[in-house]
Each structure stands twice: as structure tokens, then as C-alpha cells.
Amino acid sequence: MSNNLPSIKIERPLYEYQKLREDLNYEKTKKPYKFCKNVTCKKIITSTIPAIGWIPKYEKTFVLGDLAAGFTIAVMHIPQGMAYALLANLPPVNGIYMAIFPVLMYFFLGTSKHASIGTFSIAAVMTGKAVLEYSDSETSPSQVAAILTLAVATIQLIMCFLRLGIVSTLLSDVLVNAFTAATACQIVVTQVKDLIGLTIPKVSGNFLAIRTLMKIFENIGDFNVAATLISVISIAILVVSNEYLKPIIAKRTTIPIPSELFVVVLGVLTSQYIDLPNKYHIKTVGHIPSGLPEPSLPPISLFPSVALDGLSLAIVCYVTSMSIELILAHKANYEIDPNQELMAMGVSNVVGSLFSCMPISASLSRSTVQLVVGGKTQIVSIFSASILIVTLLSIGPFFEPLPRSVLASIIVVALKGMLMQMKQIITFWKLSKVDSTVWIGTFLTVVFVGSEIGLLVGISLSLCSVFILSLKPDTSLLGNVPNTDLYLDIDRFKKAKEINGIKIFHYCGGINFATKNMFRDELYKMIDLNAQKELLLRAKLKKLQEQFEKNKDGKLTEKMNRNESKINKCIKYLIVDFSSVTYLDPSGAEMLRSEFNNFKKLDISFYIAGCSDRVYNTFERCGLISKDENYLRIFSSIHDAVQCALFNLGAEENQAEKSNKIEEMELAELV
């Protein structure tokens, strides 16, 4: 097929970079000063409250889809909210509050049409750690969760003000994968006690999983058979529904089976009619107040204590939500504003803190269902919240007899996807040993130490991996494919040949204070240049020439010719390919100046080819560019540099031939 492709023939002048700028009317771009330019009151309001912009454009055809999605999401919120509130060591009703008050604020401020905001397993377990640590006789668990939520809100709003939406890039896919998988393991360990109806002392602080397992094994003889049986039945129903029934029904309808709600209702009815708490000592959800809570300020005095926990939670919740929202936005073809999302989550958490909520995040399972069922806009949140308000006002106490083992079963089954992420370590290991090191380090630290420290370790390892990879630049020697302007790695492309007297060194990466010595070492290694040997050889030749001028000795002429032939095999022109150099700092530029002078002493011309405009500007600022021969020559491409070198080599050969003829004539006259 390649034989049918047309050939390319181009005629143009040979360009040094400065000449290229002059001939093609180069002009530095000026970034416009945008602050307060063309900004109207309407734009400020609609950008701050996006709902004002899209609500007037809402189409009536969306109502049925949004209503169906709202009902489905409300049904999912009830069991998930109660289960994750239990995971956070909070009253189960708090999880339902999270699906109402913060969600209503996100409706006005958020930019995602399909994000289902509310409880999230990882946020719940991180909140639960803080609740155990700071709650006491004076401060209730709900108050600790509320002040933690306020801390998260404060941090997210500060990040929004500083426009730090880019912070989501700090957490790589590898890190997030390891963190979520490890947190899932930690959650499963914390749920074992409820799955088997065991009562153990509360465990808080670091090494939570290990200490919890130790307590479980110490008290394993006291497990409750009835609670264990309830857990087994609940898990079996959920697994059969998720693995077998849901895929079959999904082929016929988009409305999913509310298996979690079914298990909850079944657990409530069984507990109520068999009287499980009294007959079999089953722990239940307990009192659920009917109606809506009154807003109250959290204990501000506790803010400094939970600030560090709030920082890690703010980042985790934001990054998780952004990851989910970007996936859904890509599927539905619309845009997400990262900084506006920070504001939306921050304000939503402020409101949530007034109603004893823990920090909110988007849920992948609920958000995916919202999209699949037919939800088109965030009106889904209004419908969902309305249904939940009616539920709390009317049938809230109905859930009081629910066994805690049922909620623990829901949590464990819901974590299957996160637990299965552990298998991806095999893929990461095959693709990159550096990435797999980040995964293993993050996973082990989260599981055996704690979520916050694990997150910090993961971020540190990720940044270190980036730094290490930047210190391993890609270098090669390039050769020319005959009769073309292609220059390829001579080790990989056997038809690419080096040009006599010319070495072309390719470098990929940044050249800065940390990598400048590596650049120099790689350069000398690749071109196989022994500077000391070259200097001695040229000094010897110069001395012979001086003696010849005095004595006109034939033996000296012979020695000169031998040394000259050795030097002719050496490099005359060194071309450094800068097309893949991403950054050059003043330290790197100073190193290049020094190397330019060193090669000049060796009578080797040092050319740079194909640098970016940004790098060229650094050369200018550092005073390395001038029309004077004592400065660097920079060409627009490798081919331009090679053609210039070949032209100069031809001129040098002609001059050498003339000199040889003159010497021969002088020797003939002497004879």
C-alpha cells in the first residue's frame, strides 16, 4: 500500500531560526487582559448559578425521563444512605438527609446533568474514622460529622477561589485505583463485626484494619448465629439479583431492579414479625426520627482538630466526583466546569453541615443508573429529594427494626466492583514497573495504616515517579535515510546512515538544573567523544605545524598527515535535535554555553535544530543568540542544520585541497 503513496518534493531556503522569524513575520502573542472585560451582570449570575441559564431552556419532553430517574434514584438512596451512614458511625437517617439538603444546593450550582450527589463509601469510612476519634460525651457523632463537613466545604471553597480545579490531576488513575481498592478492603474488615453480630470495643486512629481484626479474633466466640444467617441470606439475594437477574431484565427495560430496597423491606418485615431483637439479640438500626431536622451550627471549636481530615476528604470527594462527572459528560456530550464544581460542592457541604450531614460526593452506581434510566437534567435531583422528604415525613420509623447485618451486607456487596480492581495490579505491572510501585505502595499503606496517610503516600509516590521518569530522558543518534529529509534512530532503523563528519544527537525531555549533567553525560557517551584525547591530538598537530613552518622537514610532513587523517575521522559538526526538548531553564542554557565553548576548542561546530519557540526565547534571554560566530547557531530543522554543515564541509575540503597543492609545490621547490 505504501508504494501507492505520492512522493514529496519541497524547495525552500535553508533557515536558521532567527531568519525564519524575520522572513515569516514572527510576532509574539499577547494574552488579552480579560478581567472585567465584556463581563455583564447576567454573565456573572449565570456562571455562578448555572441553573438560571438552563432552566428556561428545559424541554417538556424531558419530564417523564427525569421523573422516572428521580424515583429510581430515591429508591437507591434509602438503603445506600442508611448503610453508608452506619459505615460512618452515624445514625442511619443522616444518610438520607444527605440526599436532600446538599443535593438541592447542587441542583442550582452544579454543572453536571447526571451526577447523583450524596453518600459515598470512601467518604463514609474516612468520616467514620474522625467520628470515632473526636466524638465523646459532650460532642455527638452527628456534630463531629457536621464540623468535618464544614471543614471540607471551607477547603473546597478556598480551592475554588484560588482556581485549583486542576488539583484533580494530582491523583492518577493508578493511585485512585489503588486507593479505592484498599479502602474497600478496609471497609469490608470494619463490617465483619456487623455481618456476624459481634460486639467489640470501638477502634479509631491509624492501623484500623489490623486492630479491628485483632478485636474480632479475640471475641470470635461470641458471634451471633442468627445475624450471620441473615447476612448470608441478604448477600445471596443481592448477588443473585446483581449477577443474574439484573442483566436479564436490563435487556428488556432500562429500569433496574431495586434489590437493595427489597432486601431492606424484607429485613424490616422479618425483624418485626419474628421479633429478632428480643428473641435472637439482633442489633437493629434503632430510632429514626420522623420529619425533617432543624438546621443548627456545628461545634466550631472542633474545626482545628478536624482540618487535616477535612483536607484529605475534600480532595478525595472532589476528585472522585470529577472523575465520574467527566465520564458521564463525555457520554452525553456536554462540558463540566472544574472550578464551578468546587463551588457547587463547597456550598452544598456548607448547607449539609447545618443538617448533620457528612461530606458529599458523586456515586458512580447511582449516576450511571440516572443516565441509563433516562434522566436528562438535574431536575432528577428535585424529584428524588421530594420523594425522600415524603418518606421521612411519613414512613421513616418503618425502618427502625431493620437488622444492622442487612445494611452491612448491602455495603459488602456494593464494594464488589472496587474489590475487583485489585486484579488490575497485574496489568499495571506488565505496563509499567513504576506505576505498579505506586499502586502497591498506596494500597499497602491504606490497608495497613490509614486512608489519609495512604493518600499522602500515593501522591508522593506519583510525584516521585514523574520526577524519576523525567530524569531518564530518551536519547539516540540519528542517521539520514538516503535521498530524503528523514532522520531516524540508527540503532532501530538500519537504513538510516550517519553522515561522515556529522553527529546528530536526539534528546527528549527537559533540560534544567536537575538534568543538565545528565544531558551532558548522555551527549558525550552517545557521540563517543574523548575530549581530553581530542585536545591532545590537536595540540600535537599544532606543534608539528609550527615546527614545519620553521624547518620544512619531510618527516614532520609525514607525521602531520598521519595526525590529520586521525582528525578527519573525528566529528566536525555536532547537531543536537531539540524538537523534543520540552523545557530549558537558565541553568541548562548556561551548560549549553559551556559545552559550545568546549566543542569550539576542539574545532567542532555545535548546532541546535528544531527547538520550540519557548526554548528559543530562553536562548535569547540568556544571551546565547547573535549573528556573531561566537554564539550558538540554531536551525529550524535537522535537515537545515545538516545542509549547512555539508556545505561548510565541502568548502573545507576545497580549501584543504588547495592547501595540499601549495604544500606539494613548496616541497617540490625545496627538492
**Has residue 448 got a pLDDT over 80?**
yes
pLDDT level of residue 105 (50, 70, 90 thresholds): very high
**Has residue 2 got a pLDDT over 60?**
no
Give 332-361 pLDDT, tens digit per residue.
888 888 889 999 999 999 999 999 999 999
Q: What angle do CA 632, 637, 643 make, to 5 degrees?
A: 80
C-alpha Rg value of the chain to the nearest Å: 36
Q: Provide the pLDDT for residue 667.
A: 42
Q: What is the mean pLDDT of residues 10-37?
A: 73
Give 263-275 pLDDT, tens digit per residue.
888 999 999 888 8
Least confident segment among 110-119, 239-248, 304-313: 239-248
Residue ranges matching CATH 3.30.750.24 in the chain: 474-529+571-670
Q: Under 8 Å CB-to-CB from 536, ≥6 apart: which residues?
A: none
Q: What is the mean pLDDT of residues 453-464?
A: 86
Q: What is the mean pLDDT of residues 8-18?
A: 80
| Crossing angle between the packed helical segments 451-470 and 121-134, to the nearest 10 degrees | 120
**Has residue 1 got a pLDDT over 50?**
no
Q: How far apart (Å, rounded) are the C-alpha atoms in residues 490 and 171? A: 38
pLDDT level of residue 563 (50, 70, 90 thresholds): low
**Has residue 479 got a pLDDT over 70?**
yes
The 10 Å Cβ neighbour count of residue 305 is: 17
Higher pLDDT, 578 or 330: 578
* Rounded percentage of the chain residues whose pLDDT exceeds 70: 86
**Has residue 660 got a pLDDT over 60?**
no
Q: Provide the pLDDT for residue 285.
A: 84
Give 365-415 pLDDT, tens digit per residue.
788 888 877 888 889 999 999 999 988 888 878 888 889 899 888 888 888
pLDDT level of residue 670 (50, 70, 90 thresholds): very low
Q: What is the mean pLDDT of residues 86-109?
A: 91
Q: Provide the pLDDT for residue 303.
A: 93
pLDDT level of residue 532 (50, 70, 90 thresholds): very low
**Has residue 491 got a pLDDT over 50?**
yes
Contact 52, 369 (CB under 8 A): no
Q: Under 8 Å CB-to-CB from 637, ≥6 apart: which residues?
A: 15, 485, 609, 610
pLDDT level of residue 547 (50, 70, 90 thresholds): low
* Rounded percentage of the chain residues whose pLDDT exceeds 90: 24
Q: Provide the pLDDT for residue 560.
A: 52
Higher pLDDT, 43 or 416: 416
Q: How far apart (Å, rounded) are the C-alpha atoms in residues 529 and 532? A: 9
Closest CA to 121 of 173, 198, 191, 168: 191
Q: What is the mean pLDDT of residues 191-212?
A: 83
Q: Provide the pLDDT for residue 535.
A: 54
Q: Provide the pLDDT for residue 551.
A: 61
Q: Provide the pLDDT for residue 654.
A: 60
Contact 101, 382 (CB under 8 A): no
Please report the sign of the dihedral spanned by the C-alpha atoms of residue 127, residue 130, residue 134, residue 136. positive
Residue 265, CA distances (Å) to 279, 356, 515, 589, 643 in order: 20, 25, 64, 71, 82
Q: What is the mean pLDDT of residues 126-133?
A: 88
**Has residue 543 got a pLDDT over 70?**
no
Q: Provide the pLDDT for residue 63.
A: 87
Q: How many whole angstroms from its chain centre is CA 5?
A: 40
Task: Give 398: exposed, middle or buried? Use CB within 10 Å, 0-12, 13-18, 19+.
Answer: middle
pLDDT level of residue 504 (50, 70, 90 thresholds): very high
Amino acid at 129: K
Residue 423, CA distances (Å) to 413, 428, 558, 627 in order: 17, 9, 72, 60
Indicate the class that CATH gives domain 474-529+571-670. alpha beta
Give 139-180 pLDDT, tens digit per residue.
899 999 999 999 999 999 999 988 887 766 667 788 888 888
pLDDT level of residue 576 (50, 70, 90 thresholds): very high
**Has residue 318 got a pLDDT over 60?**
yes
